Structure 1
């Protein structure tokens, strides 16, 4: 055990095969993160599998059921570093039930066009999420080239 807080995030896309749009969520709290965009998700509970935690968190935060796709690989075994105490693992996810709504921790949801990487990167993301956004855009571009 590393002692790191394990967080999971969903790269919720319109479809897992050749995604064209990404669902992003704007934080409403805490104050220092309010107004910044992120991947929806949350903390893994003790004894909970990360994938199970992500499905639970997306249901709690957005009111949706999802089918998880592949994990977006990070450069570390623990996932993407968020700060000195936490790291995040991110999976692609497709909505299978419900309409996404900002139920907890967010005041706005938005579908962004993955075909316009500059527009995606122009959003004011939580700083720790920028490397993840870059990796996601690269992964989608590589998938489209295949």
Structure 2
């Protein structure tokens, strides 16, 4: 299975959500930023690379968050999503280079977004992480 990593970027009890621009069937839906782990690349290195490419955001990758989420990818290929908590380096601010929009959300706002189905499984874990970081 191809591993895809997602970043739960949390600052001051708020989570960074990214609105998809592509593909057309996912346009406008919200996700945690990230992407595929390349051959020979660690999951942490993939997250650092992907967040730099998508958001111009340097991050430190922290602990795993939530369960592995198996999903069917394009063309029926099996994907395994893994999520990690990430922290921006030195107060860096993300920019939407590949997304329609970015939004910082608190735990009470998570259900307001139209999340990709693959990210929905993580919402309880995100809510707990945000509640813990906001206290």
Name the TM-score class by shorter chain.
0.7 to 0.9
Is the CA contact (8 Å cut-off) linking 1:82 and 1:129 kept in structure 2?
Answer: no
> Normalising to structure 1: TM-score of the pair?
0.81
Is the CA contact (8 Å cut-off) linking 2:30 and 2:115 kept in structure 1?
Answer: yes
For the residues of structure 2 that align with 1:73 and 1:37, how far apart are their CA atoms?
18
Q: Deviations over 1:117-136 (max 9, x none)?
A: xx211200001110112222
Which shows bigger deviation, 91-100 or 38-47?
Answer: 91-100
* Structure 1 runs not aligned, ≥5 long: none
Q: Which has the higher helix share?
A: 2
Correspondence 1:1-146 to 2 at 5 A: 4-14=1-11, 19-74=12-67, 79-83=68-72, 85-97=78-90, 98-104=92-98, 106-114=99-107, 116=108, 119-141=109-131, 143=132
List, as ranges, runs of 4+ consecutive aligned residues in structure 1 with deviation greater than 2 Å: 138-141
How far did residue 137 of structure 1 move? 1.1
How far did residue 27 of structure 1 move? 0.1
Q: Deviations over 1:68-127 (max 9, x none)?
A: 2211131xxxx21232611111111111153201112x110000112x1xx211200001
Is the CA contact (8 Å cut-off) linking 1:13 and 1:93 kept in structure 2?
Answer: yes
Q: Higher relative contact order at CA 8 Å, sep ≥6: structure 1 or structure 2? A: 2
How far did residue 138 of structure 1 move? 2.8
> Normalising to structure 2: TM-score of the pair?
0.88
